[in-house]
């Protein structure tokens, strides 16, 4: 924990919708302080005050495109950007000794390997979703999948706003991982992410995904266990991005001072 008791938090991509929400949440939080924010060099927001951009009183913290300098002057960075740069941010965290909270989804295996390597040097909290409700849903999904046999078909339905670029969502894939873990399977071996045309009967033991996009939906996820005669559904609906920001800032305060490792929100929330 920093000597003054306040954790300095930097927001990567602070000019986006989620970035602005994170800035607002840090400023309103206890035990945390805004340490700055960054944007890409091409962004017209570079040089503007990061708190003012988020609709708050100026904090004297101009948005920078120099992420290395930002990482060096904060205790923890929060990254909800895009997969193509997430690995580079993890590398910067390792080089500067800065903790990292990573909410970016859609990482390729080689990008995830970079994150895992960085976590051998600094604490990193990585999660497909930072809301308390979703992380309880992940735990419940694993438990139910472990309890029911493969006579119960598992289908995961998710819907997000029209601007989301990856599908299925990181949260949906996380739910698939939880279900596969409960059944002692590898998700890659049983996932069905695309169905089109004459697909034939559903294979026993598969985990299916369905993706919907439209409007301004923040995030809706349902895990269905469908058998002959009954269906069990577990559903979470996010009505505000604030739940993700609050969880991420909580994770940021939690991980500073922890030993280097790749942590999940289950670690942060002490969910068994």
Candidate list 8, 67, 160, 236, residue with the active-site label:
160
186 is annotated as an active-site residue: no
Tokens at 210, concatenated: 């369905």
198 is annotated as an active-site residue: no
Q: Which residues are catalytic?
A: 160, 164
């Amino acid at each position: 924990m920093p000597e003054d008791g306040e954790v300095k938090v930097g927001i990567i991509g602070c000019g986006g919708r989620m970035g602005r929400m994170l800035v607002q949440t840090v400023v309103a939080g206890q035990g945390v302080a805004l340490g700055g924010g960054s944007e890409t060099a091409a962004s017209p927001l570079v040089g503007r005050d990061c708190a003012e951009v988020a609709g708050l009183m100026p904090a004297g913290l101009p948005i920078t495109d120099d992420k290395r300098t930002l990482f060096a002057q904060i205790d923890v960075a929060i990254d909800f950007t895009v997969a193509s740069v997430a690995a580079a941010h993890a590398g910067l965290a390792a080089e500067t000794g800065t903790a990292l909270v990573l909410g970016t989804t859609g990482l390729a295996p080689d990008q995830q390997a970079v994150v895992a390597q960085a976590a051998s040097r600094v604490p990193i909290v990585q999660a497909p979703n930072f809301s308390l409700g979703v992380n309880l849903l992940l735990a419940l999904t694993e438990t139910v999948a472990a309890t029911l046999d493969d006579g119960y078909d598992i289908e995961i339905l998710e819907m997000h706003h029209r601007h989301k670029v990856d599908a299925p969502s990181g949260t949906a894939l996380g739910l698939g991982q939880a279900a596969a873990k409960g059944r002692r399977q590898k998700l890659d071996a049983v996932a069905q992410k695309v169905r089109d045309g004459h697909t034939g009967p559903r294979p026993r033991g598969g985990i299916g995904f369905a993706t919907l996009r439209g409007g301004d939906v923040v995030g809706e996820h349902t895990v269905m266990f469908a058998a002959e005669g009954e269906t069990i559904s577990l559903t979470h609906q996010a009505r505000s991005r604030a739940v993700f920001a609050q969880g991420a800032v909580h994770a940021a305060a939690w991980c500073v001072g922890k030993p280097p490792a790749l942590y999940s929100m289950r670690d942060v929330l002490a969910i068994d």
